[in-house]
Amino acid sequence: MDTTPQDLSHLFEQLGLENSEESIEKFISSHTVPDKVLIFQSDIWNESQKSFLKESIEEDAQWSELIDHLDTQLRK
């Protein structure tokens, strides 16, 4: 069982992104997922990140709720 804390900092770490609060805020403020585009289809991700996001959502994995939260924040 994975005991990794479930927060945006750890999600960003899983995605291989800077995970400080400042870095997360900067990422969210400077990126947008367009309407009618699924979060894992967005051009803001590399192929590995897209795969992680897609698999997590499809498998309703432990990260899926945080990915949904991030998705909401990226749709301004």
Domain of 16, CATH number, reads 1.10.10.1130
**How many domains, in total, are found in the chain?**
1
Are 32 and 71 contacting, i.e. CB atoms less than 8 angstroms apart? Answer: no
Please, which pLDDT band fits residue 2 given cuts at 50, 70 and 90?
low
Type of residue at 54:
K
Q: 59-70 pLDDT, tens per residue?
A: 998 899 999 999
Full residue range of the structural domain in which residue 47 is found: 5-74
Q: What count of Cα atoms within 13 Å lies in the side-chain half-sphere of residue 55? A: 8
Are 63 and 6 contacting, i.e. CB atoms less than 8 angstroms apart? Answer: yes
